[in-house]
Structure 1
Amino acid sequence: MQDKNLINRKTYKEIKKMDRKDMELFLAKVYRNGFKDGAAAGDMADFKIRLSQILNKTKGIGIVLYDRIMQTAKEMEYDYR
């Protein structure tokens, strides 16, 4: 989750004035955005799992090199967000 305010004062006031239909549309939008964020995070997790499996099968990659590669992958994750 990002470190920003998801709802500012203006949005809060708009939410308070919403009827049922408007609230359903708003919540559907929030859900879609959360789903997209979760899918993106899942893609990175799948990538790291596949990378780990490949590195474990690769001859000549020891624990030190493995750790350095996985650290770089972790840094890539923060750049990806």
Structure 2
Amino acid sequence: MAKQQLINRAKYKDIKRYDHSQMERFARSLYESGFKDGAVQATATEKSNTRQMDFNMLNERLLTIKGIGIVKAEQIVKVVKGALESE
């Protein structure tokens, strides 16, 4: 798979001709774009981790109920995961 190019040849030539203020604006916009992308990715990862912890907690609590064993608890968690993912 080819690497995705962030700067094409024309943009590279433009950047070479930038003066100080233009380069500062370009660097600032590049930084802000990366910062926003990182924040979105961190939020998505955090939500994914929170869901996983909730399923583990659900499994543990189901095991405390008399009559529900490991197999039945895993089946219940699987059904709940499927219901949440289909939303």
Do both proteins adopt the same fold according to a TM-score greater than 0.5, normalized to the shorter chain? yes
Give distance in 1, aligned partners of 2:25 and 2:33: 12
Give distance in 2, aligned partners of 1:61 and 1:35: 39
Cα RMSD between the aligned structures?
A: 2.0
**Equivalent residue number for residue 39 of structure 1:** 39
Q: 5+ residue gaps in structure 1? A: 74-81
Give distance in 2, aligned partners of 1:32 and 1:51: 29
In the superposition, the TM-score normalised over structure 2's length comes to: 0.65
Give distance in 2, aligned partners of 1:56 and 1:24: 48
Aligned identity (percent) is 33
1:57-68 pair list within 5 angstroms: 57-58=57-58, 59=62, 60-61=73-74, 65=78
Deviation per residue, 1:7-31 (Å, 9 max, x gap): 1011000000001100000000000
Give distance in 1, aligned partners of 2:17 and 2:24: 13
Consecutive aligned runs of 4 or more in structure 1 exceeding 6 Å deviation: none
How many residues align? The count is 64
| SS of the residue 1:61 aligns to | helix
Q: Is 2:38 aligned against 1:25?
A: no
Give distance in 2, aligned partners of 1:15 and 1:43: 32
Q: 5+ residue gaps in structure 2? A: 63-72
